[in-house]
């Protein structure tokens, strides 16, 4: 049981690294055609970028099914649950707290929450496929480091590609 809890926890932690890699090199790379919608003003409740939530939920659903129904073993359930847990935390942080897709009155107070919210806002300070900064979600470098990266990135950008959210 403890081993399964550790697998679950490791999966949640590893998913932040996976999300960073996907965001930086896939969504701001060949997958930009979907992610671009998230860097534009949204019309209506959904954006093309939401397909990523569906895509990333699939391995979780398959692993949970395999672990619970198809006898793949407890590891599959633990990994599937870890991916789902990260997805829920990601949705709460990214879509609800930062982008306010659901109404709420939460205001970040702790130093950690202020930092990761601000870090994602800085990601949206560069609304282009290239030259982005701050691709992580739950882990972020100190804001002064990100501000330096932002200035460097603005120096590389030509034209008014910035907007604040
Ligand atoms: Zn992005
Ligand atoms: Zn965002």
Residue 66 lies inside a defined structural domain of this protein? yes
CA 69–ligand 2 middle distance (angstroms): 35
CA 68–ligand 1 middle distance (angstroms): 34
Task: Give the separation between CA 61 and CA 67, rounded to whole angstroms.
Answer: 10
Query: What is the pLDDT, as a whole number, of residue 157?
Result: 65
Residue 161 lies inside a defined structural domain of this protein? no
Question: The domain containing residue 129 runs over which residues?
Answer: 2-156
Into how many domains does the chain fold? 1
CA-nearest of 78, 56, 77, 63 to 9 is 78
Residue 27 lies inside a defined structural domain of this protein? yes
Query: What is the pLDDT, as a whole number, of residue 160?
Result: 55
Query: What is the pLDDT, as a whole number, of residue 66?
Result: 97
CA 99–ligand 2 middle distance (angstroms): 7
Residue 162 lies inside a defined structural domain of this protein? no
Residue 163 lies inside a defined structural domain of this protein? no
Ligand nearest to the CA of 132: 1
Residue 12 lies inside a defined structural domain of this protein? yes
Residue 69 lies inside a defined structural domain of this protein? yes
Residue 96 lies inside a defined structural domain of this protein? yes
Torsion of CA 145, 101, 24, 124, to 10 degrees: -50
Ligand nearest to the CA of 22: 1
Query: What is the pLDDT, as a whole number, of residue 129?
Result: 92
CA 48–ligand 2 middle distance (angstroms): 13
Query: What is the pLDDT, as a whole number, of residue 156?
Result: 74
CA 27–ligand 1 middle distance (angstroms): 7
- What is the CB neighbour count within 10 angstroms for residue 23? 20
The CA distances from residue 19 to 13, 52, 86, 135, in Å, are: 10, 11, 10, 8
Ligand nearest to the CA of 126: 1
What are the 10-residue block averages of pLDDT along the chain, 165 residues in total? 96 98 96 96 92 96 96 96 98 96 95 96 92 94 91 73 54
pTM above 0.85, yes or no: yes
């Amino acid at each position: 049981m403890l081993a399964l809890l550790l697998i679950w926890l490791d999966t949640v932690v590893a998913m932040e690294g996976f999300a960073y890699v996907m965001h930086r090199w896939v969504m701001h790379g060949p997958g930009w055609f979907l992610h671009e919608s998230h860097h534009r003003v949204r019309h209506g409740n959904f954006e093309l970028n939401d397909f990523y939530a569906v895509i990333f939920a699939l391995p979780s659903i398959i692993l949970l099914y395999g672990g619970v129904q198809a006898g793949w073993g407890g590891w599959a359930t633990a990994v599937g649950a870890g991916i789902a847990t990260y997805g829920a935390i990601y949705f709460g942080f990214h879509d609800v707290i930062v982008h306010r897709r659901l109404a709420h009155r939460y205001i970040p107070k702790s130093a950690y929450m202020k930092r990761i919210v601000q870090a994602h806002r800085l990601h949206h300070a560069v609304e282009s496929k290239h030259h982005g900064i701050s691709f992580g979600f739950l882990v972020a470098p100190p804001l002064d480091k990100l501000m330096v990266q932002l200035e460097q990135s603005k120096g590389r950008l030509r034209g008014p590609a910035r907007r604040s959210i």
